[in-house]
Structure 1
Amino acid sequence: MLFLEQSVELNDTELEIYNFITANLQKVVYMRIRDLADETHVSTTTILRFCRKFKCSGFSEFRVKLKLYAEKRRRIAIDMSDETTYIDFLKRTAGEEFQEQLQDAVSILRQSELVLFVGIGSSGVIAEYGALYFSSLFTLALHIEDPLNHPFYHLSDKLSDKICLVALSVDGENEDIIRYIHELKTQKCQVISITNSSKSSIARLSDANIAYYINKEMYQEANITSQLPALYTIECIAREIRSQIDQTID
C-alpha cells in the first residue's frame, strides 16, 4: 500500500483518507496536515493516527515518503517509440540460425498429430492464439490453460509419440511449465519452445528451441517484454508447414 510493501488494516474513516491520497498524490505531497484534514473531513489527530499505521512518526515524514513514492512512479516510463528492437529481430529471422531453428521445429511438428500449446501470463494469451492458428492451417492444436490441472499420466504408447508440446515463455524459467515438460518427456512427447534465450531451462529441456533475444522490459513488478517475436515465430512455423504440405500435395 503506497510506499509500504505490506497491506495495512484501515477502518472506514482511514480508508477514505487513503482513497483521497491515492487519487491526489501530486496534490497531497504539498499539503499541510490541516489541509488534508479539511479535505477529508477529519481531525488532524486522525491524520496522525493514519500516518503511524504507515510507520511514520508524523505527517511530515509521511509526506516525504509519499513524495519519494510519487517521484518513483513518475520515473517509470515506457518508450514506445523505439522500433529498433523489432527491426533487429525481424532482420535476424532471415538469418541462417533462425531458419535452421525454424526447420527443426517444422520437422518435429510435421510428425505430430496433436499439438499442445502452453504458456503463463501474457505467454498464455499467445499460446491460445497459437493453438487457434495451428488448427486453422494444418493440424489439431489445443491450448493448455492450466498445466497443473491437465496431467498426462496415462497416455498410450500409440498416442504419446505423436504429441508435441509448444512451450512459450519469455524468461524460460517458469516452474509450472518446466514440471509439465518433464512429465510429457517421460511419455515420449516432443517439446518445442519459443523463449527469449536459448540458455534458459525450458529451452535446454526442449527438443527444438527458437530464441528471439530482445530486451527484457519491466513496468513496476510486471514483465512487459514484447510478445511480438513469439507471435511472429508461431505464424512463421505454421505457414512453413502449410507451404510444405501444399508442395507435397502438388
Structure 2
Amino acid sequence: MLFLDKTIELNDTEMTIYHYVVGNLDTVIYMRIRDLADATHVSTTTILRFCRKFGCNGFSEFRVKLQMYAQNRTKISVDMSDETTYIDFLKRTAQPEFKANIAQSAKILRDAELVLFVGIGASGIIAEYGALYFSSLFTLALHIEDPLNHPFYHLSSKISDKICLIAISVSGENEDLIKYIHQLKTQKCKIITITNSAKSTMAKLSDANIPYYINKEMYQEADITSQLPAVYTIECIAREIRTQIDREEK
C-alpha cells in the first residue's frame, strides 16, 4: 500500500484520502497539508491521523516518503537490449545434461495415459499451452486451471500410476503447487517439473526435473521472468516423444 509493504486498515474517510493520493501522486508530493485537506474535504487533523497510519510522524514525513516512492517507480525499467540470457539458455539445451533431462521425462511420459499440466499465473498460461501441444503430438493432456479446487483424494488406484503431472513454476516454491504435488504423489502419480532451479522444493519432489537457469526479472511487484525456456522445454519433450513413436512405427 503506497510505500508500505503491507496492507493497513483504513476507515471510509481515510480510504477517500488514499484514493485521492494514489490518483494524484505527482501533485500530492508538492501539496501543503491544508491543500490536501481542502482537496479531500477533511480537516488537517484527519490528514495527520491518516499519515500516522502509514508510520509517519506528520505530513512532511509522509510527503517525503511519498516522493521517494514516486521516484523509485519511475526509475524501474525493462531492459530489452540484453539477449544473452536467451542465447545462453539455447546453448545449454545442446548440452548432455539438458538432453538427459528431456530423455528422462520422455521415458516417464511414454507410460502415461493421461497427462496433467498445472501452473499459477503466467506459468498457468504456459501450462494451458502445454496441454494443447501435448494433445496434438502425443496423448490426451489436460490443463488444471485451479489446482486447489481439483483435488485427487478419491483417484482410483487402477489409473493413478498412469497419470503424470507436469508442473511449471519459475520459483518452484509456490505453496499451492507443492501441496498439489504432495497430494498426487500419495496417489502414486508421476511428477515432472519445469523450474528455474533444480534446488527448488518442487524440483526435489519430482520424479524428473528440467531446470533452465535464467535471470529472474521483476518489474515493480510483478515477476516478468521470461517464459521462453518453459515453452521451449515443453515442445522439446513432446517432440522427443513423437520422434520415438514414429521411429518405432517404421
Deviates more, 1:58-67 or 1:151-160: 151-160
Q: Deviations over 1:148-181 (max 9, x none)?
A: 3322233334312211111111121223322322
Name whichever of 240-249 and 39-48 sits farther off.
39-48
Corresponding residue for 1:11? Answer: 12
Structure 1's 204 and 59: CA in aligned 2 closer, same or farther, altered over 3 A?
Answer: closer
Identity %: 73
CA contact 1:123–1:170 (8 Å) conserved in 2: yes
- 2:160 matches 1:143: no
The Cα RMSD (Å) is: 2.2
| 1:59 to 1:176, Cα distance in 2 relative to 1, 3 A | closer
Change (3 A) 1:34 1:103: same
Distance in 1 between residues matched to 2:199 and 2:175, nearest whole Å: 15
Q: Paired residue for 2:102?
A: 102
Q: TM-score, normalised by structure 2?
A: 0.88
Aligned equivalent of 1:172? 172
Give the C-alpha shift of residue 36 in structure 1. 3.5
Mapped contact 2:172–2:195 kept (Cα < 8 A): yes
Mapping of residues 150-165 of structure 1, within 5 Å:
150-165=150-165
- Deviation of the 1:123 alpha carbon: 1.5
**Residue 60 to residue 167, structure 1, CA distance change in 2 (3 Å):** same
- Cα 1:45/1:159, change in 2 over 3 Å: closer
Residue 203 of structure 1, CA deviation:
1.2
Residue correspondence of structure 1 range 107-118 to structure 2 within 5 A: 107-118=107-118
1:210 aligned to 2:187?
no
Give the corresponding residue for 1:86.
86
Give the TM-score, by structure 1 length.
Answer: 0.88
* Contact kept in structure 2, 1:8 and 1:54, CA below 8 Å: no
Gaps (5+ residues) in structure 1? none
Name the CA shift for 1:55/1:200 in 2 (closer, same or farther; >3 Å). closer
Give distance in 2, aligned partners of 1:196 and 1:53: 39
Paired with 1:203 and 1:138, the residues of 2 have a C-alpha distance of 24
19-28 vs 61-70, which deviates more?
19-28
